[in-house]
Chain A
């Protein structure tokens, strides 16, 4: 088990390193950063000053090595746009994103578990079809589009919810739904499949034969077993949620990490962009690692593979 964990950990580190390099070089390919910073109307002299200030006149590989070294030391640099420490910016915005991530995850589980269970208990009925329809729509609708539909219904027609901002809990309702709905289908299908499998198992038949009430069989005996793979999936989906929050936070002008990512892209604020990409990928890699290890712990067969 230890060997397996070390192997996965090594692999995770390599992935994080590769992502950092790709993020760094892709950014440089997108155009002259100095010119992007200088903006409309800058002269050659201005560009020279900017290149010197930010060390952009050095060879690319040196810039990358320097950046990586500074980052590893915990020095994330200064935002070109907001002129503050990147670490401070990121820490300021992180709570909003984490809160939104967990709210969305909670929402996803809240709708996917009952629907998944219902679909499994009544397979191939209209209930199952309805659950399937909800899942398909959730997967097929781009989340920004779904978000706008929510705005249309709840802000413009009904006037129940504020459109954008993060002042009150009401401001989090639509972002949570829009983001959570996006990941719910994966859970729903997994729970349905797991439940169908478990419900046909011998011990369930035994429980039925014992005359246990149906609700107790489904929720106590069956769901407990069917929910195990969901735990592993949760870790991975949380990563998806962090990525999805870039779009959702931007649409709802929620002042979180996703919004910061969008701003840094718009303003060509490359120190911020690089750290956010790195941070999100490291979180994703860690979550995947955690889910791998959890799976291996649950199922010894995986460790060998």
Chain B
């Protein structure tokens, strides 16, 4: 099936080239100032607290605003619904709120909205889908009409990062009246775009909010309308792009994006994302692969893999080789002082020999996406005498096997929910959570210190030390970051960011 599909893809692109009937349809988007955007997955709910998919995040950031805005170019925090904020003590933050902001239904924004939203999401019984995004909130209090205090359960230095991302502010009067279901049926936010039509599972239309507040760090939108359609089939999306039926698609696989580069009405833009790729190695006491408890075997595995070549030939433009288990832009992420392992199959074989595996070794590997990359990893391991049996699973099944301690090697990826802080990455795999199959208490303690200390220098030092131990003891194989490919009509001006967020509010026509 996949081979046939590849043939079909190739033919799609070559037909487009041969026929040479471009130009007419591609102008449709520009002429009515509408971006027609096709995405493969429909969100379960438009309310950002009740979905955990990328398209949900994209819609959320267009329809709603957050207290703080992180400038994607400089990673600097700017006031959005808040104008200023200060740390009162380890667990308390105080915010001055912006005046004169209105929600799409005319409701005025003030402290009540912030207090209501924060208190709503902090209660587990309200079942916010991604608890990790909100479970740090203890409560919020109103000091006056434009001043609030937010208390965290523990000292939580990454609070500002979360408040600039997943934690959007709902209009309290409306939300109280309609609840999450009503907010999904007829969404109301304060963002640069408002929802004007929504057919669950099929399409959603966003229109420019003409009353969007002038001082927002998100610029006033230039594109009048974003027409989002859910098209599950990749080839159909590509055909739509080639024939001018849609203006914007993303997550296009590398080989297919390269085909589309030849189509003159389209532009292909690739960029790095925060999604990191790595291999875990089960070193638990009852590991089904005791060989992995030997540091030499683990080092042999890292030395066996040519990450540079993988990035160049199969991962794609925008990707970079990583040396630690976090994304470089995340606060606290560094490979300073950490052991770096070069591609050295001879050394790898030598290490295996030392460890008593001169005649080779057999291991299982579980994986769930980018199968071609898993296959490359298997090839590299085979070359030094490590035979691996691939178990390619659904994400849920893979997690289950890892959490049960049954995995040997894993081919993992992690997107950190686009949170630009190491606490959202490394701690998930080395902080004794269910997927931690290393369980080094020293690493855990350092990570906890990093996650909960307020002093940025203390945090940086703790993360640096934890990441160094993980690298020195070769607990995991850091591989590379994943790129994302966008294909858009060539007359659209836009920029790709690592958080995989197309920002339609700053796009324009050439």
Contacts and interface: CB of A to CB of B under 8 A. Distances in A.
Contact of A159 (B25, B41, B124): B25
Interface string A121-157: 0000000000000000000001011001101100111
A113 B415 CA distance: 55
A262 B232 contact: yes
26 contacts: A31-B400, A32-B397, A33-B396, A35-B396, A36-B394, A39-B129, A43-B131, A43-B132, A81-B44, A82-B44, A82-B200, A82-B201, A83-B45, A83-B50, A83-B181, A145-B4, A149-B8, A156-B239, A157-B15, A159-B21, A163-B239, A163-B240, A250-B233, A251-B235, A253-B232, A266-B232
A202 interface: no
Contact of B127 (A31, A49, A145, A267): A49
A266 B242 CA distance: 26
Given A163-B245, A255-B202, A44 B434 contact: yes
B415 A40 contact: yes
B131 A253 contact: no
Contact of B12 (A156, A253, A263): A156
B442 interface: no
Which of A36, A155, A255, A268 counts the most chain B CB atoms within 10 A? A155
A263 B201 contact: yes
A82 B50 CA distance: 10
Contact of B52 (A33, A40, A145, A250): A40
Contacts of B5: 144
Given A82-B44, A159-B243, A163-B240, 16 more contacts: A31-B397, A36-B394, A39-B130, A44-B434, A46-B131, A148-B8, A151-B239, A152-B11, A156-B16, A251-B233, A251-B235, A253-B229, A253-B230, A253-B233, A263-B42, A263-B232
Contacts of B414: 40
B448 interface: no
A156 B243 contact: yes
A31 B235 contact: no
B376 interface: no
A36 B400 CA distance: 10
A31 to B, nearest CB: 3
Contacts of B242: 156
B394 A156 contact: no
A45 B16 CA distance: 51
A30 interface: yes
A157 B229 contact: no
Contacts of B45: 83
B229 A142 contact: no
Given A155-B239, A156-B243, A142 B12 contact: no
B242 to A, nearest CB: 5
Contacts of B131: 42-43, 45-46
4 closest cross-chain pairs (CB), A and B: A31-B397, A36-B396, A35-B396, A148-B8
A187 interface: no
Interface of B: 1, 4-5, 8, 11-12, 15-16, 19, 21, 24-25, 41-42, 44-45, 50, 52, 124, 127, 129-132, 181, 184, 199-202, 229-233, 235-236, 239-240, 242-243, 245, 393-397, 399-400, 414-415, 417, 428, 433-434
Given A83-B44, A156-B15, A253-B230, A30 B397 contact: yes
Contacts of B396: 31-33, 35-36, 268
Given A84-B200, A159-B25, A252 B395 contact: no
B229 A165 contact: yes
B408 to A, nearest CB: 19
Interface in A82-135: 82-84
Interface in A166-208: none
A163 B236 contact: yes
Contacts of A300: none
A152 B52 contact: no
A41 interface: yes
Which of A46, A151, A255, A266 counts the most chain B CB atoms within 10 A? A151
Contacts of B245: 155, 162-164
A39 B417 CA distance: 12
Contacts of A35: 396-397, 399-400
B179 to A, nearest CB: 11
A148 B15 contact: no
Contacts of A163: 236, 239-240, 243, 245
Contacts of B230: 253
Contacts of A32: 396-397, 400
A37 to B, nearest CB: 8
Contacts of B232: 250, 253, 259, 262-263, 266
Nearest to A80: B44
Given A43-B434, A142-B4, A250-B233, A255 B12 contact: no
A43 B21 CA distance: 52
A268 B41 CA distance: 13
